[in-house]
Structure 1
Amino acid sequence: MTEPTPRRYVADFHTHYANPALPALPPPNPAAALADRWTGLARRIADLDDLLGDTRRHDLDLRVLSAPPSLVTPPGRRTSPAELRLLNEHLAQATARAPDRLAGLATVDAFAGESAAEEVTRAVTGLGLPGIVVDCATGDQLLGAPAARPTLAAAARLGVPVFAHPVSTEPLSLAFADLGRFGTSLARGSVTAAALLSLVTEGVLAELPGLHVVFPMLGIAGLALAAAADEGAALTAPPPGADRAHVYVDTMGFAPTAIRFAADLLGADHVLVGSDWPIGQRAASRRRVETALRETGLTPAEADLVAGGNTLRLLGRDAPRGTAGR
């Protein structure tokens, strides 16, 4: 008698949730369509019951929650240490409500030097949060800047992933404003790509081989540029290459060709399902994930990794009995 096919484990790595005391803010100069939606989005980002209900309705196994600093801090101001503690302590309490369904990434101002590294350690070892989320840039500094090195080194030392979230800059968002929501995405994607490339050009990936950093699909241009140069060879080294840089992509949507491109570039073991909930216009659901992965042409084992196995590995979790995830 043949064994039944295990149920595929599906995790959404890119889900937003923030303490209601620090409401989510729209990016600077948002497209009109996004601005019109924002009041409702901010309400959902602060509503844990809504999030859990959505997770059950769409038959997802895990949501990974995050609130990058730029999501909850007005433009031109840095998130204060007290606000970071408020966010992270609330997140630890929120995820404890449904530990099998929820995991949280601590909010960290990566550019705050040693104090940021201390918050990484406190959030991971003290609050039990299994990773961190940072802005990929701030002001004129990209993630490869020296100011961010203590944060990245602390995450590498603790063995937790860093989610490098997109940000908006006023020059780019204004320059692309006529493109509507595509302009907003292009502006944020350009900064994300630059931040990824800064990890290469500043030698961060070579200096911190234990660093695991996740970029949304918006920054895929940075991966393509890096892969075309000798300096980026470590990104595309075949597994388990000892010199392989651990850069991951979250799908930030469900376009099969984009998912396949990322998997071909980095390996299927470095791609994660992510939806940008509730901001993304296509919500994650088991059916949508399964359909997209089937259309990529990945093998079932590779699709299992992308669907949830890679997220489980990054967070240090085991796949539940009866599921295919690792």
Structure 2
Amino acid sequence: MPSMFVADFHTHYACPAYPALPPHQAAPELVRRWHGLARRIADLDGLLAEAGRRGVDLRVLSAPPALVTPHGERTHPDDLRRLNDHLAEAVATAPQRLRGLATVDAFAGDAAAAEAVRAVRELGLSGLVVDCATDGQLLGAAAARPTLTVAAELGVPVFAHPISPAAMTLAFAGLGRFGTSLARGTINAAALLSLLVDGVLAELPGLHVVFPMLGVAGLSLAAATDEGQHITAAAPASQRAHVYLDTMGFVPAAIRFATDLLGADHVLVGGDWPIGARETSRERVETALTQAGLDEAERRLVAGANALRLVDARCVPARNSSSVITR
């Protein structure tokens, strides 16, 4: 059989002019590592070399706003444009091995939607990465609707990346790195639920939104309700919402849970490079998916086919669209 295609959907890369910042109130052990991590996040040649050594065919690059913006500040529109211009140039250096998700402040209304359109239409980027929450708002908020609407119309995925909410991060500080992850996972789960509660998934059936495994509690809670069942693989195809999980690691039981609930066609390999404790490699992916009990077809979907389908499947928006796309 031909070799399995491996894609890592959760790979961080930022323009060297915008150094990656540690999560707000991050655990001391992460802060100690951060200088080295920030250097790697800005090193495109190093990223490509490592991917080659580890047998990763495709990296989907992203720099969520909170990664490159001081806590409590909003990313300036000019900075977003520069980040996305640079990302497009970076992807163009290795188009067979890289795709890019445009950095967008989803809570900036029509201005954010306009940058999303520019990044996809003019720069050729393959999707969007957004913070899952900001300033007391979750992703389902009205301010984020223009960005989500144009993503659905353009046919590109939205990666809803975790942030570090100040109150929860402080409350969980005694747990060290687990506290940092728990706070980020909790707000990520809440953002997922907000798409359900605020009617976004029903309003935008063409929206494809990816959450990391860190926010799996939101998926679990939603799937346990009647209104949330349309997220799962059990929903009729015509009614199924397109919510995806990236594995954010290589725990077979977690991968099995995600594929059982969402279907193998809605789960993606993600390593949170270079922050994740276990970096993506072909051997690690194949071992984890096999131990999760996936059959060959399912393994191929999760390993890379799903990611490739998402980042390469753009559609032409409807002519009668009233969104920013047609303005």
Q: Name the TM tier (shorter chain).
A: over 0.9
CA drift of 1:236 comes to 1.0
Match of 1:52 among 25, 44, 48: 48
The alignment status of 1:136 with 2:143, answered yes or no, reads: no
The alignment status of 1:266 with 2:250, answered yes or no, reads: no
Give ranges in structure 2 of 5+ residues lacking alignment. 314-327
SS at match of 2:38: helix
Counterpart amino acid of residue 130 in structure 2:
V
Deviations 1:62-107 (A, max 9, x none): 0000000000000111001100000000000001110000000000
The alignment status of 1:303 with 2:299, answered yes or no, reads: yes
Counterpart-to-counterpart distance in 1, 2:173 and 2:123: 40
CA drift of 1:238 comes to 3.1
Counterpart-to-counterpart distance in 1, 2:169 and 2:234: 36
Instruction: Check conservation: 2:233, 2:261, Cα contact below 8 A.
Output: no
Counterpart amino acid of residue 162 in structure 1:
V
Instruction: Check conservation: 2:151, 2:158, Cα contact below 8 A.
Output: yes
Q: What is aligned with 1:279? A: 275
Q: What is aligned with 2:239? A: 243
The alignment status of 1:25 with 2:21, answered yes or no, reads: yes
Counterpart amino acid of residue 153 in structure 1:
T
| Cα root mean square deviation, aligned | 1.1
Counterpart-to-counterpart distance in 2, 1:296 and 1:76: 40
Give ranges in structure 1 of 5+ residues lacking alignment. 318-326
The alignment status of 1:108 with 2:104, answered yes or no, reads: yes
Counterpart-to-counterpart distance in 2, 1:282 and 1:233: 32
Counterpart-to-counterpart distance in 2, 1:238 and 1:90: 41
Q: What is aligned with 1:165? A: 161
Match of 1:200 among 196, 202, 208: 196
Match of 2:90 among 87, 91, 94: 94
Counterpart-to-counterpart distance in 1, 2:112 and 2:198: 20
Match of 2:114 among 107, 115, 118: 118
Counterpart-to-counterpart distance in 1, 2:29 and 2:129: 26
CA drift of 1:315 comes to 1.1
Counterpart-to-counterpart distance in 2, 1:184 and 1:293: 27
Q: What is aligned with 1:11? A: 7
Match of 1:152 among 148, 152, 155: 148
SS at match of 1:231: coil
Instruction: Check conservation: 1:237, 1:243, Cα contact below 8 A.
Output: no
Deviations 1:181-237 (A, max 9, x none): 111000000000000000000000000000000000000000000000111011114
The alignment status of 1:233 with 2:248, answered yes or no, reads: no
The alignment status of 1:78 with 2:78, answered yes or no, reads: no
Counterpart-to-counterpart distance in 1, 2:158 and 2:75: 18
CA drift of 1:240 comes to 6.1
CA drift of 1:266 comes to 0.4
The alignment status of 1:37 with 2:19, answered yes or no, reads: no
Instruction: Check conservation: 1:68, 1:165, Cα contact below 8 A.
Output: yes
SS at match of 2:107: coil
Counterpart amino acid of residue 24 in structure 1:
A
Counterpart-to-counterpart distance in 2, 1:187 and 1:176: 7
Q: What is aligned with 1:176? A: 172
Counterpart-to-counterpart distance in 2, 1:291 and 1:65: 24
Match of 1:61 among 57, 60, 75: 57
Q: 1:227 to 1:96 in 2, by over 3 A?
A: same
CA drift of 1:239 comes to 6.8
Deviations 1:253-283 (A, max 9, x none): 0000000000001000000000000000100
- Give the 4+ runs in structure 1 shifted more than 2 A: 237-240
Counterpart amino acid of residue 134 in structure 1:
V
**What is the TM-score normalised by the length of structure 2?**
0.95
Counterpart-to-counterpart distance in 2, 1:241 and 1:63: 29
The alignment status of 1:210 with 2:223, answered yes or no, reads: no
Counterpart amino acid of residue 177 in structure 1:
A
**What is the TM-score normalised by the length of structure 1?**
0.95
Counterpart-to-counterpart distance in 2, 1:313 and 1:170: 36
Q: What is aligned with 2:325? A: none
Match of 2:253 among 247, 253, 257: 257
Counterpart-to-counterpart distance in 2, 1:71 and 1:89: 17
Counterpart-to-counterpart distance in 2, 1:169 and 1:80: 20
Percent identical: 70
